[in-house]
Structure 1
Amino acid sequence: MNIQRRKLLNLGAVTAAGSLLGTSAWAQAFPNKPVTLVVPFTPGGNTDIVARTVAVALGKVLGQSVIVDNRAGAGGSIGAMQVARAAADGYTLLLCGAGVIVTVPEMVKTSYSRSSFAPIGLVNKSSMVLLSRKNETRFKNFKELAAYARSGDGKLIAAHSGPGTPNHLALLQLESLLKTKFTVVSYKGSGPALVDLIGGQVDVHFDQVTSSLQHVKAGTLQALAVLGPAQDPSLPGVQTVAEQGFGELDGTTYVGVLAPSGTPKDVQDKLAAALAQAVKDPQTVNSARELGSVAFSGTPQEFARILDAEYALATQATKDGRLKAD
């Protein structure tokens, strides 16, 4: 081997070793500046409240400020696009439900897809519930509602909180279970839908317990069924759809944190461990309980499975022509 070639090989080995050492040292130093947690919805909503509580706890674990940045619009896709395009260094994260990642792209053209993100972990879950007015005379329980809905396609007027939301997917699941069609009314959020339900413009609404619990406690609305695998402690005695003999239906809403997909694995691991610790913080647990939800720690793999399940629902609904943007 000539001297010049040996020098080049030695130089390459030194450069490679230096590069690996630099990467390792950089990961060990993470984070050395504030982290931004993007919320793709407006301030004040359930997702935003969860984000702000988690941000405080996560900041304590990481030893750096975690700044919540609300980037609302287009069903959450504006905030998601911002994170997908961000530097994959662990300093820009996204907090949202699975729908923003896998369902919205099924309805509208986005510059991101599921592969644009790496799941870091779950932070919260809330039950979905089927609601009607307390003084409703046509059906006083879920079994009577099922019979009413089956008595004619389109007879039941059902509301949800927007195309592609978990509320919408739960509605589609119930249509399939009951083998009937509803007259579906789409709203921009739970607030307007609840107003119209109370006012009698719609018959039922698919909603998270976090949004509707106050109305159930006040006696304005009644919960006919929990749309999930288990009863919710906030609604004692309200059975699931399966418990009432109508098959399995899971509308549970999960919220988690994601990073751009190119984020180094050791940084992802550090974030996942910190997030799991933050979810167990007493302030996080108490805040979730006050909302009517649960501070729920889940691994990146568990979050990935939830993304898989919702993607399967969304793609099938799209093929059937039942999932469309307004």
Structure 2
Amino acid sequence: MKIQRRGLLKAGTLAALGGPLIAPAWAQGGAFPNKPVTIVVPFPAGGNTDIVARTVAVALGKVLGQSVVVDNRGGGGGSIGANVVARAQPDGYTLLLCGAGVVVTVPEMVKTAYSRKDFAPIGLVNKSSMVLLARKNDPRFKTFQEFVAYARSGEGKVNAAHSGPGTPNHLAQLQLEALLKAKFTPVSYKGSGPALVDLIGGQVDVHFDQVTSSLQHIRAGTLEPLAVLGPTEDPALPGVKTVAELGFGQIDGTTYVGVLGPSGMPPALQEQLAKALAQAVQDPQTVRSARELGSVAISSTPQEFGRILDAEYTLASAAAKDGRLKVD
């Protein structure tokens, strides 16, 4: 089950923030777009994904010269909104912005009306690191090394919170268990908020969370980041080492957010949208908003985003087959 996503994105193809903008292919008189574009967000308004979507929508609208509207379709772990896009016309006017798990992990857990093959990846827009959190000054483990020793001292000894079955948080937990050859007692929550409250209150021992959700608590001094669960250190957490840097092997719990369209989209249109999206990601407001959230604005080719989806699918399907990925 050891899946490495490191290297799936080549540095040269990520958006060089502040670099030259890409001229949209339709600037020479192409027909697309001639009406507003809708970005479906499969979660309620107000969350981190929604904030990313609204910032990207404004920047993308500037590039396209058309309004880009965000349509929140929450429910079913993201499956309701995803299905809207899977069944839409592949004409570029209905797009989906979400993490990889919505299109590849959720269908491994519950019956959905769509599968991974119903979507055409366009490009990434954002990434955030996953971090292993403990309470500040927990006497049992103040460092990652002490946590590993404690976890290995007894099966199920660590009550480990995550944000729900199939979330990137849950998959990161499964990866770390396999890497450390330790067995946690998983505690599933409906989102990071309730899990963070219980971690601070002492109801659980650790929590697997995105930096975007936990940064305020880290800065307030109530939570301690033990390690970054990704291939590189996070700029929002200076001095916090990765699991690999601490000598325990590679793990990649990075959360990637990207834009997809329905399958069947003409390749030329897919490439046009990818170039426009890359340009939008370089917009100063997009970069600034991502930084304020504790994440990073990035872009990619459709092919690179596709490889991210494939890697996540491999991890999720393996976990589903051995019974570790299921609805509460």
Fold match (TM-score > 0.5): yes
User: Could you tell me how far apart the structure 1 residues matched to 2:54 and 2:301 are?
Assistant: 20
User: Could you tell me how far apart the structure 2 residues matched to 1:305 and 1:265 are?
Assistant: 17
Aligned-partner SS, 1:163:
coil
Instruction: Report the equivalent of 2:292.
Output: 290
Q: Deviations over 1:72-124 (max 9, x none)?
A: 11110010001001111110000001100110000000110111000000000
Instruction: Report the equivalent of 2:249.
Output: 247
Aligned-partner SS, 2:209:
strand
Instruction: Report the equivalent of 2:32.
Output: 30
Instruction: Report the equivalent of 2:188.
Output: 186
Q: Are 1:204 and 2:220 matched, yes or no?
A: no
User: Could you tell me how far apart the structure 2 residues matched to 1:192 and 1:66 are?
Assistant: 33
- Pick one of 128, 131, 149 that aligns with 2:130: 128
Aligned-partner SS, 1:158:
strand
Q: Are 1:256 and 2:249 matched, yes or no?
A: no
Instruction: Report the equivalent of 1:318.
Output: 320
Instruction: Report the equivalent of 2:18.
Output: none
Instruction: Report the equivalent of 1:12.
Output: none
Instruction: Report the equivalent of 1:18.
Output: none
Instruction: Report the equivalent of 1:3.
Output: none
User: Could you tell me how far apart the structure 2 residues matched to 1:77 and 1:182 are?
Assistant: 28
Q: Deviations over 1:184-205 (max 9, x none)?
A: 0111110000000000000000
User: Could you tell me how far apart the structure 2 residues matched to 1:259 and 1:278 are?
Assistant: 17
Aligned-partner SS, 1:206:
strand
**Identical-residue share of aligned pairs (%):** 80
- Pick one of 156, 173, 176 that aligns with 1:174: 176
- Pick one of 86, 90, 96 that aligns with 2:98: 96
Instruction: Report the equivalent of 2:161.
Output: 159
1:320 Cα deviation from its structure 2 partner = 1.5
Q: Are 1:230 and 2:271 matched, yes or no?
A: no
Instruction: Report the equivalent of 2:277.
Output: 275
Q: Which amino acid aligns with 2:187?
A: V
CA contact (8 A) 2:132 2:208 kept: yes
Instruction: Report the equivalent of 2:59.
Output: 57
1:135 Cα deviation from its structure 2 partner = 2.3
Aligned-partner SS, 1:120:
strand
Moved more, 267-276 or 215-224: 267-276
Structure 1 gap segments, 5+ residues each? 1-23
Aligned-partner SS, 1:44:
coil
Aligned-partner SS, 2:309:
helix
User: Could you tell me how far apart the structure 1 residues matched to 2:81 and 2:155 are?
Assistant: 38
Q: Which amino acid aligns with 2:37?
A: V
CA contact (8 A) 2:160 2:184 kept: yes
Could you say which structure has the larger radius of gyration?
Answer: 1
Instruction: Report the equivalent of 2:73.
Output: 71
User: Could you tell me how far apart the structure 1 residues matched to 2:76 and 2:204 are?
Assistant: 25
Aligned-partner SS, 1:297:
coil
Instruction: Report the equivalent of 1:303.
Output: 305
Q: 4+ runs of 1 displaced by more than 2 Å?
A: none
The alignment's C-alpha RMSD in Å is 1.0
Q: Which amino acid aligns with 1:310?
A: E
TM-score (norm 2): 0.91
CA contact (8 A) 2:96 2:261 kept: yes
Q: Which amino acid aligns with 2:38?
A: T
CA contact (8 A) 2:160 2:204 kept: yes
1:319 Cα deviation from its structure 2 partner = 1.6
1:270 Cα deviation from its structure 2 partner = 1.3
Instruction: Report the equivalent of 1:16.
Output: none
Moved more, 316-325 or 217-226: 316-325
User: Could you tell me how far apart the structure 2 residues matched to 1:75 and 1:313 are?
Assistant: 18
Q: Which amino acid aligns with 1:129?
A: V
Higher helix share: 1
Aligned-partner SS, 2:80:
helix
User: Could you tell me how far apart the structure 2 residues matched to 1:127 and 1:44 are?
Assistant: 20
Which is bigger in relative contact order (C-alpha 8 A, separation at least 6)?
Answer: 2
User: Could you tell me how far apart the structure 1 residues matched to 2:164 and 2:321 are?
Assistant: 19
Instruction: Report the equivalent of 2:119.
Output: 117
